[in-house]
Structure formats: structure tokens, C-alpha cells
């Protein structure tokens, strides 16, 4: 297994992984056309988001993640927010999350990123344990939202 940055040719597999993540975590069925628009826009323009794929020796995708940047005026730098973290069920628990995190953590260091951040459903205990194993911990911040 290895990790590589995704390209527009990976659109279909990333859309499938993102849709599966929504089903698993929130029980939601996402509109495929909307997912294609969202992922496609980011694959065409890295200022929106960057995607990485976990692939096997045959280049078959087994997982993915994306990162978006948030500017901090307090610290004059970017935080990288991890999104769409997904590893196919048959590949979970084998250390591949660590491979994904190492890959984009290295890219974050090269870009002088201030910190990696993510949000996780508070009842997704398996994901929380997995993130803790690769070095994430609770933040001093609570994420709040307001529909618009």
C-alpha cells in the first residue's frame, strides 16, 4: 500500500468513498451529481481542497482523505482541516490510517501549516479511537453550526 495525491481521473472512486462515508457515519444518502461537482471542483482547483488516495500495489484505491485550509489571523498561518477520511472496511485496522496521516502531515509541514485539525461525529467511537492512535486529541474548541 502507498499514498498518492489524487487527480481528476480519481473522481469516481473518491465520490464513491465520500458517499459511503456519509452512509456509514450519518446514515445519509448524498446526491451523486452534487458529490461529483464538489469533489470535481476541488480536484481541478487545489485552492479548494487537496485529496490523497490510499492505493494497493495494483493502484486500486482502498481509501481517501481531503484537506482544506483555514487562515488564522491570530497566528498568521493556515490550519489544515481533514475531511472525507475513508478507508474501505476490509482495509481498516491495519495501520493504513497512519500512512494517510503521515502523507498529508508531511505535506502540511512543507507548507508551514500550523496544525492539523478534524471533526468527527461524537458517537463514532471507532473513528475517535483510530484518530487518537495516530496522535489526535480533543481540542479546546467545540464546533458549532448554524444552518443558513
Q: What's the fold here for domain 2-133?
A: Aminopeptidase (3.40.630)
pLDDT of residue 89: 95
pTM above 0.75, yes or no: yes
Residues in the chain, total: 148
Would you call 110 exposed, middle or buried from its count of C-beta atoms within 10 A (0-12, 13-18, 19+)? exposed
How confident is the model over 29-37, as a mean pLDDT?
94
Q: What is the pLDDT of residues 96-147, one digit of tens each?
A: 999 999 998 999 999 999 999 998 888 888 889 999 999 999 988 888 889 8
* Nearest residue to 66 (alpha-carbon basis) of 31, 118, 23, 133: 118
Condensed to tens digits (0 to 9), the pLDDT of residues 53-90 reads 999 999 999 999 999 999 999 999 999 999 989 999 99
**pLDDT at 17 (0 to 100):** 97
| Cβ-Cβ contacts under 8 Å for 10 (sequence gap 6 or more) | 43, 51, 53, 61, 64
- Residue 142: the pLDDT is 86
pLDDT of 145: 87
pLDDT of residue 141: 87
* pLDDT above 90 (res 7): yes
pLDDT at residue 124, as a whole number? 87
Q: Taking 90 as the threshold, does the pLDDT of residue 26 lie above it?
A: no
Place of cell 469516481: 12
pLDDT of residue 121: 86
Amino acid at each position: 500500500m502507498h499514498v498518492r495525491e489524487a487527480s481528476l481521473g480519481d473522481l469516481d472512486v473518491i465520490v464513491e468513498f465520500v458517499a459511503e462515508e456519509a452512509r456509514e457515519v450519518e446514515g445519509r444518502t448524498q446526491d451523486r451529481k452534487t458529490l461529483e461537482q464538489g469533489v470535481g471542483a476541488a480536484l481541478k482547483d487545489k485552492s479548494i481542497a487537496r485529496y490523497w488516495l490510499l492505493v494497493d500495489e495494483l493502484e486500486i484505491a482502498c481509501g481517501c482523505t481531503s484537506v482544506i485550509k483555514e487562515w488564522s489571523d491570530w497566528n498568521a498561518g493556515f490550519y489544515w482541516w481533514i475531511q472525507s477520511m475513508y478507508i474501505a472496511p476490509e482495509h481498516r485496522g491495519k495501520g493504513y490510517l497512519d500512512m494517510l496521516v503521515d502523507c498529508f502531515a508531511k505535506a502540511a509541514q512543507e507548507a508551514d501549516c500550523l496544525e492539523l485539525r478534524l471533526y468527527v461525529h461524537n458517537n463514532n467511537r471507532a473513528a475517535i479511537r483510530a484518530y487518537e492512535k495516530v496522535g489526535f486529541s480533543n481540542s479546546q474548541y467545540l464546533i458549532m453550526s448554524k444552518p443558513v
